[in-house]
Amino acid sequence: MKAGKTRLQKKTVPTEIHGDASTPDGIEPTESIENIEADMVVMEKVSFAYDGQCADIHNVSLSIGRGEWVTLAGANGSGKSTLIRLMNGLLRAGSGSITIGGTKLEPGAIGGIRQKVGMVFQNPDNQFIGATVEEDMAFGLEGLCLDAEEMRSRISRYASSLGISDLLHRHPQELSGGQKQRAAVAAILAMEPELIILDEASSMLDEMARRDWLSLLREMHSEGRYTLLSITHDAEEIAASERVLVMHEGKLAADLMPGELFRSEELLRMCRMVPPFRTQLALELEKRGIRPADAGLGSGTVNMDLEDERIWPFSWNM
C-alpha cells in the first residue's frame, strides 16, 4: 500500500517525454536513467517468435511515459495483441528486455508487474470470472490479499466512480455489453494498477456504448493516475488519444500523433482504416481543388467531437 502511494506521487512529475516523439522507433538515445525510471513501459529490442497462435514480434523498442494515452494500431496479425501480452508476462519474449514502471520483467517479478498492469479484453463475456459484478471485482482483490473491509470499500468506491453501483449484484448475462465492459474496468481499477491496457475493448460495443466508453477513457486519462495503452480500430478513440504506435508485420512502423496518422494514407492502409468522415471530405475537396480553411487539419489534431457543431468545412471562402 505504501509503495503504491509513493508511486502515485511520483506520477505527478511531468514526464511528457514522448509527446512530440515522431521518430519511427520512439527511443531517444540520450535518455537519462532518471527518465527511464519514470517511464511506465520500456521495451528494448524485444522479439517474439510465432508460437502457432500469436504473431511474431521483431526487435521492437519503445517507451511510454507515465500518464500517457497511447493507441496501438495495426492490421489484424500485425502483432499488437502479442506485444501487449508480452508486457504483463502472459507471453514470454524470446529476447530483449521489458521494464514496467521501473521493474524489469523477469519470471520472479511477474506477480508484482501484474499488480501494476490492468488489462481489459475484447469479449465482455469471457473475462468475467465472478458470477456477479461484485464477485468479479472481488476476484482480483482476493489475490492481492486485502482484508474484507478494504475490499468492500474499494468495491463500493470504484463501482460508484464508474456508475455501476446498482449492478453489483447482477449476473453478467443480465448486463448489456457496455455495462459489462464498465464492470471489467471497475474490476481492474479496484486493483489500483498504474498501466491500463485495453485490447480492442470497445470493438463489441454498440454505438452508444462506444461513446460512453470513450468518455470513460477521457475521464481516466484526465485523472492522471493511469497510463493508457489501447488497441483499437475505432477512429474516434484513436483521435482522442495522444500518441499512436503503428504495428506492421511485427515491427513498429510509426510513432506519431493521431492527426498525423489520419493524414497518412499509407499508414492508414497499413492499419486497415479510413480517416474520419470530415477528414475524408476535406481530402475529397482537396482532390477537387478546394482547400478548406486550415482549421482542423493544420493543427495536427482532427477534431472529432460529435457534439461539436462547428461549421467547418463549410466555412470556406467561396
Partner 1 sequence: MAIQLEHVSYTYDARSLLRQTALQDVNLELAEGLLTGIAGSSGSGKSTLLQLLNGILLPTEGAVRVLDMTLAAGKKPPKLAPLRRRVGLVFQFPEQQLFAETLEKDLMFGPVNFGAAPEDAAARARKALKQMGLSEGLLSRHPLQLSGGQRRKAAIASVLAMDPDILVLDEPGATLDQISRMELTSLLHYLCREEGKTIIVVTHHIDELLPYADRWVIMHEGRAVFHGTRRGLVDEAERLPGCGLSIPQPIRCWRELEAAYGLQAEEPCLSPSALADRMVRLASAAAGKERVYA
Partner 2 sequence: MHEKLLIGRLIDTGSPVHRLDPRAKLTAMLLYAVMVVCARSWLALLCLMVFSVLMMALTRIPVRTYLKAAKPLRFLMLFILIVQCFAVKGGSVLVAVGSWHLDSAGLEAGAIAALRMVLLVSFTALLTFTTSPGQLNQGLEGMLKPLEWTGIPAERLSLMTGIALRFIPAILDEAQTILKAQASRGADLRELPWKEKARMLTALLVPVTVGAFRRAEDLTASMESRGYRIGAPRTRYRPLVWGQGESWFVAAFVLMCLVIVWIGFY
Would you tell me which residues interact with partner 1 (CB under 8 A)? 75-77, 122, 176-178, 200, 203-204, 206-209, 211, 233, 235, 269, 271-274, 276-278, 280-281, 283-285, 287-288, 290, 306, 309, 311, 314, 318
Beta carbons of 270 and 98 less than 8 angstroms apart:
no
Q: Which residue has the cell 470513460?
A: 216
Residue 111 touching partner 2 (CB under 8 A): yes
- Partner from partner 1, partner 2, none contacting 77, C-beta within 5 to 8 A by type: partner 1
- Partner from partner 2, partner 1, none contacting 200, C-beta within 5 to 8 A by type: partner 1
CA angle 214-216-217, nearest 5°? 65
* Among candidate residues 120, 126, 271, the one with its CA nearest the CA of residue 202: 120
In the range 171-210, which residues lie near partner 2 by CB under 8 A? 171, 173, 187-188, 191
Element (H, E) at 40: strand 39-48
Residue 51 touching partner 2 (CB under 8 A): no
**Beta carbon nearer to partner 2, 204 or 283:** 204
Closest approach of partner 2 to the CB of residue 151, in Å: 5
Measured CA to CA, the distance from residue 78 to residue 212 in angstroms comes to 28
Closest approach of partner 1 to the CB of residue 284, in Å: 4
In the range 120-149, which residues lie near partner 2 by CB under 8 A? 121, 123, 125-132, 135, 138-148
Measured CA to CA, the distance from residue 274 to residue 280 in angstroms comes to 8
**Beta carbon nearer to partner 1, 228 or 304:** 304
Beta carbons of 158 and 168 less than 8 angstroms apart:
no
Q: Which residue has the cell 467547418?
A: 312
> Which listed residue (18, 66, 80, 114) binds partner 2 by CB under 8 A?
114
Which residues, in sequence order, are bridge partners of residue 62?
43
Measured CA to CA, the distance from residue 46 to residue 171 in angstroms comes to 40
Residue 45 touching partner 2 (CB under 8 A): no
Closest approach of partner 2 to the CB of residue 118, in Å: 7
Q: How far is CA 88 from the centre of its chain?
A: 14
Cell numbers placing 247: 504495428
Half-sphere exposure of 301 (CA within 13 A, CB side): 10
- Partner from partner 1, partner 2, none contacting 114, C-beta within 5 to 8 A by type: partner 2
* Among candidate residues 248, 264, 251, the one with its CA nearest the CA of residue 45: 251
- Partner from partner 2, partner 1, none contacting 238, C-beta within 5 to 8 A by type: none
Q: Which residues bind partner 2 (CB under 8 A)?
A: 85, 88, 90, 111, 114-115, 117-119, 121, 123, 125-132, 135, 138-148, 151-152, 169, 171, 173, 187-188, 191
